[in-house]
Chains A and B, each alone.
Chain A
């Protein structure tokens, strides 16, 4: 990751172009065009983890942005004029690529940055799939994928090498499969890794998807997890309960949350967040990556209707054999949090397991009350049954 950020920050010297792109956006064509992708949301996680979120959010509020808006967006917008954050701000973009398959927030955020940096903005609009992905929606997104390639060719003033594109697509699919295998190791008992480990190892599938570096990293990680399984080493010292996490991590409190659950003999074996980076694998076609991108990028977890989200959650409950569901009601992320109370009800009805809702925010620590959350975790733990 360090090498990646050094590469990105020195792009201007090496003559490479930099694109800012949303976390679940179509990065493979950028890699194929030799453009360095930079992820403001990944930057947001670093800001959160280094506990710089509150300060930057307050700066954004002083610029006129409401405190109710996504804290990734607030922190990033405030970083631009101040060069703030743990790495002194992101490298200046040459272009912006925004895919709204995760939220509408990114559209507004990227409009702001497109005005600020005065660079071209490409928007890939993926209609929300309330029930089914219609043929009209598919055609609409496919046309935009074609436009996207033209956009990149114009920005980079060179043609796309289709063979290279196919190769990057192949690597990307291979990585997503590897990532899925890594996450799947948590079905073992003891679980060799927890969701908190997944939050950490996620960085490369987000930022370096479609590169050999990521393949090597996840191959090694998978090997390590298999060794742990063979040796019977678990992620937590005593593993009595297995839980599922929903929503983004609370970046400035991951250690505290991980310790709090571990000390109560609970391991969060899986989560809906990190698995989103391989959630549409089934729609990706190795032999025709560009065409399959419309499905692959539209049919991800956050772009689905609540019923399908609940199905996914229930699928994970069964797959990982969990006894309880912990939902982070994230003040920042409306698309993730809005349907949670419905999903909670569906899960309770269909699986009858205890659920806990923790009200917090992924970056803005002003919305986290440790004492209150600890009390709620204790009450929840008492409800669990083997």
Chain B
């Protein structure tokens, strides 16, 4: 979000190579039997969540964060008139839940994401006092339940999650998957 574009795209190339190598070696890795989880929620200000989840027998296969997948979703078609194209992308991508985009679009896309990545479960990581996500949560949870996808909720204050407790809860959740 803040890095120089030229430098960033160089890094992206290297990361892509690295990920491809990892994917090759993963074919022989035993952890492919790991539980597959998706993280969903607001801006993720608590990056330790990745280590915490992956320190259990789970692997994070996708995310639905404001600062993750939803930030990069949809391409701006570069051949067209740029201003309308950029505006169009803002309208097309999954919006922040503070804005309206239909009554079921968020649950539909979360379930699609879970199915596409064959996820075993969803972990909601919500920032305390972020109302739009807090309002959406019961509906999303009910729709995941109906689709047979277990979910858990962790509400954290920015930067201040109690890691030990969170880890215990996530372990219990992953075990149950």
Selected interface stretch from B1-9, B18-26, B132-140, B161-169 = B132-140
Q: CB distance A104 to B98 under 8 Å?
A: yes
Q: A64-B141, A66-B155 are in contact. Are A104 and B134 (CB under 8 A)?
A: no
Q: Which of A64, A73, A111 contacts B137, CB < 8 Å? A: A64
B103 close to A (CB within 8 Å): yes
Provide the bound-state CA to CA distance between A246 and B79, in Å. Answer: 53
A107 CA / B131 CA spacing, docked (Å): 11
B129 at the interface (CB under 8 A from A): yes
Q: Is B134's CB under 8 angstroms from A66's CB?
A: yes
Size of B's binding interface in residues, CB under 8 A: 19
The docked-state distance in angstroms from the alpha carbon of A125 to that of B100 is 10
Asked if residues A108 and B129 are in contact (CB atoms below 8 Å), the reply is no
Q: How far is the CB of A22 from chain B (nearest CB, A)?
A: 14
Chain A interface size range: 20 to 34
Contacting pair B104 A69 (CB below 8 A): no
CB contact between A114 and one of B97, B103, B132, B137 (< 8 Å): that residue = B103
Known: A109-B135, A115-B139. A68 touches B129 (CB 8 A): yes
Query: Is A121 interfacial (CB 8 A cutoff)?
Result: yes
Asked if residues A115 and B97 are in contact (CB atoms below 8 Å), the reply is no
Contact B100 A123 (CB under 8 A): yes
Tally the A-B contacts, defined by beta carbons under 8 Å.
Answer: 50
CA distance A112 to B137 in the complex (A): 11
Expressed in whole angstroms, the minimum distance between the Cβ of A187 and any Cβ of chain B is 38
Given known A-B contacts A64-B138, A65-B138, A115-B139, A104 and B131 have beta carbons under 8 A apart: yes
A138 within 8 A of B: no
Please report the C-alpha to C-alpha distance between residue A66 and residue B153 in the assembled complex, in whole angstroms.
Answer: 11
Query: In this complex, what residue of A is CB-closest to B134?
Result: A66
Q: Is B118 an interface residue (CB 8 A)?
A: no
Q: Across the A-B interface, give the 8 residue pairs with the lowest CB-CB distance, nearest first.
A: A108-B135, A64-B138, A66-B134, A115-B103, A104-B98, A68-B129, A123-B100, A114-B103
A interface residue numbers (CB < 8 A to B) = 63-66, 68-70, 73, 104-105, 107-109, 111-112, 114-115, 121, 123, 125, 334
28 contacts between A and B (CB under 8 A): A63-B138, A64-B137, A64-B141, A64-B153, A65-B134, A66-B134, A66-B137, A68-B129, A68-B131, A68-B134, A69-B134, A69-B135, A73-B135, A105-B131, A105-B135, A107-B99, A107-B100, A108-B131, A108-B132, A108-B135, A109-B135, A111-B103, A112-B135, A112-B139, A115-B103, A115-B104, A125-B100, A334-B131
